[in-house]
A and B are shown apart, each in its own frame.
Chain A
Amino acid sequence: MADETHKFDLSLVTPDGPAFEGEVEMIVVPGAAGEIGVLARHAPLIATLKAGSTRVYLNRDTDDVREYATGAGFFKVEQDRVIALVDDAVPANEIDQGRAREQLETAQRELELVERGESNADRWQLEQRIRHAENQLAVSGRN
């Protein structure tokens, strides 16, 4: 007799719209204190997320996994309805390594100028760009 696996509804939402919506078996997100894995019927949870890799398992038997490079954000588990709110979510297979590397280098160069006092660009924004670019490279580098 087949073991009925329970699924839950997942929404991975960004300010530009949902990156993923549907029923899944498991999700692993980069919590601020470490990775969080969630299956159906998980206890209610609210957590903060840092930039990293989010893996959505639609079906663990058939290895149907979607990976995303996600930015920082928040995570909420509630009665089989899971929401991840992140500032960006790029599907792993859509990451443009060349562009990510370019973004990284540009931001790092700009940051150096700021540190030398030669530019008054927004330091915080540059640091975010660096983190996101490094994240994209890390995720796509593994695939």
Chain B
Amino acid sequence: MATVQDIKRRVRSIRNTRKITRALELVAAAKLKRAQSRIEDMRPYADRMLELMAGTARASSSVRGLPLLQTHEQEQAVAIVPLTGDRGLAGAFNSQILRRALALERTLRGEGKQVRWVGVGRRGVGSLRFRRLELAAEFTGFTDQPRYADAQAIAHRVAELYTEAEVDRVILVYNHFESALVQQVTVQQILPLSEDLLESNAEERQDDAMRGDFIFEPEPEQILERLLPVYLETELYRALLESAASEHGARMTAMRNASRNAGELIDTLTLAMNRARQAEITQEILEVVAGADAQTG
């Protein structure tokens, strides 16, 4: 049986670990709250952007020829963009993304298509590199608190890959935030953009008729050319924010579980320690008694 000292040492070590996991849980909880409010803050911008696109499209003579809308005739190469975090200790957050992304790659390869990778987040980049996969771009260092500029950088790169026909479709794989316990792996095509984005309903057309024509500076076609890339940035930003919230939620839950497990271990070990201590005392008593017996007997 292990000595009391051995068990004491273990308990001390686990207590220290638990301090760390508790701290990480609290930090993750605070970051989660902030991440959630940033998702809300984005909504007005995203909604207005859609309105603006539909309104400008209505006035455009043609939406053909906009590179981000155009479907490529043949689909030869597809870019996969998995959104991962920079750090671990987040439960299944990173692994479930990579698993899905790699499964997607296998399917596409089975269809005879080439796959290009755009890594976001150190865990993803590291994992893809480990598998000797070539990366068309990598973006790290911001995933737990993404800024709009980060979304712009990624959007710029994937738009470039698409318009230069290095890829014919771009697919995003990220964790959609449902709650601290549930993060749903979501696969979303971001390029080419869907023409539905430019559609208006009857009410909007009526408003148009009543209000009269907009003045456009410059021409609506040129405005649309700027709008579409910005819309892509918006979509990427939204996904990055969702992923950040998911990461903090997953980490909070993982750390909470770790703290709880540590607590249970401490309880079990403390019981074992007490038994060991009692056994030692009993042993000492027996030795003293035997010794005393030997002397008198």
- Kindly state the interface size class of chain A when it binds its partner: 20 to 34
Looking at A2-10, A39-47, A55-63, A111-119, the stretch in contact with chain B turns out to be A39-47
Contacts of A44 on B, CB cut-off 8 Å? Answer: 211-215
Given contact pairs A48-B223, A74-B52, A87 touches B215 in the complex (Cβ within 8 A) = no
Contacts of A93 in B (CB 8 A): none
Residues of B31-59 whose CB lies within 8 A of A = 38, 41-42, 44-45, 48-49, 52, 55-56, 59
B156 A122 Cβ-Cβ under 8 A: yes
The reply to whether B45 and A15 contact each other, CB–CB distance below 8 Å, is yes
Residue contact B149 to A129, C-beta cutoff 8 Å: yes
> Is B218 in contact with A48, judged by CB distance below 8 angstroms?
yes
Is A78 close to B, CB under 8 A? Answer: yes
Check A14/B45 contact, CB under 8 A, given A46-B52, A76-B52, A128-B152.
yes
Compute how far the CA of A31 lies from the CA of B223 in the bound complex, rounded to whole angstroms. 12
**Contact present for A13 and B214 (CB under 8 Å):** no
- CB pair A46 B152 closer than 8 Å: no
> With A15-B237, A44-B211, A76-B52 as given contacts, are A125 and B149 in contact (CB-CB < 8 Å)?
yes
- Considering only residues 214-240 of chain B, those with a C-beta below 8 Å from chain A are 214-218, 220, 222-223, 226-227, 230, 233-234, 237
* Interchain residue pairs with CB less than 8 A apart (15): A11-B48, A15-B41, A17-B42, A32-B217, A43-B215, A46-B59, A46-B214, A47-B218, A74-B226, A78-B211, A122-B153, A124-B156, A125-B149, A125-B156, A128-B152
Q: Which residues of chain A have a CB within 8 Å of any CB of chain B?
A: 11, 13-18, 31-33, 36, 43-48, 73-74, 76, 78-79, 83, 85, 87-88, 122, 124-125, 128-129
Docked-complex contact A46 and B148, CB < 8 angstroms: no
- Judged by a CB distance under 8 angstroms, whether B277 is at the interface is no
**Inter-chain contacts of B129 with A (CB < 8 A):** none
Contact A16 B44 (CB under 8 A): no
Contact with A along B226-256 (1 / 0, CB 8 A): 1100100110010000000000000000000
Say if the beta carbon of B12 comes within 8 Å of chain A: no
Q: How far is the CB of B214 from chain A (nearest CB, A)?
A: 5
Say how far B60's CB is from chain A's closest CB, in angstroms.
11
Query: Please, how many angstroms separate the alpha-carbon atoms of A46 and B230 in the complex?
Result: 15
**Which residues from chain A contact B151 at a C-beta distance below 8 Å?**
15
Q: Is the CB of B223 within 8 A of A74?
A: yes
Residues of A within 8 A of B156 (CB): 122, 124-125
CB distance B217 to A16 under 8 Å?
Answer: no
Cα distance A60–B42 in the bound complex, in angstroms? 31
Q: Which residues of A contact B42 (CB under 8 A)?
A: 15-17
By a CB distance below 8 angstroms, the chain A residues around B222 are 48
A78 to B53, CA, bound (A): 15
B52 touches A85 (CB 8 A): yes
Per the 8 Å Cβ criterion, residues 141-178 of B in contact with A are 148-149, 151-153, 156-157
Task: For the A-B complex with A13-B44, A74-B223 known, give 9 more contacts whose Cβ atoms are closer than 8 Å.
Answer: A15-B41, A15-B148, A45-B215, A46-B52, A46-B223, A85-B48, A87-B233, A124-B153, A128-B149
Q: Tell whether, in the assembled complex, residue B45 and residue A13 are in contact, meaning their CB atoms are under 8 Å apart.
A: yes
B-side contacts of A15, CB under 8 Å: 41-42, 45, 148, 151, 234, 237
Q: How far apart sit A22 and B66, CA to CA, in the bound complex (Å)?
A: 35
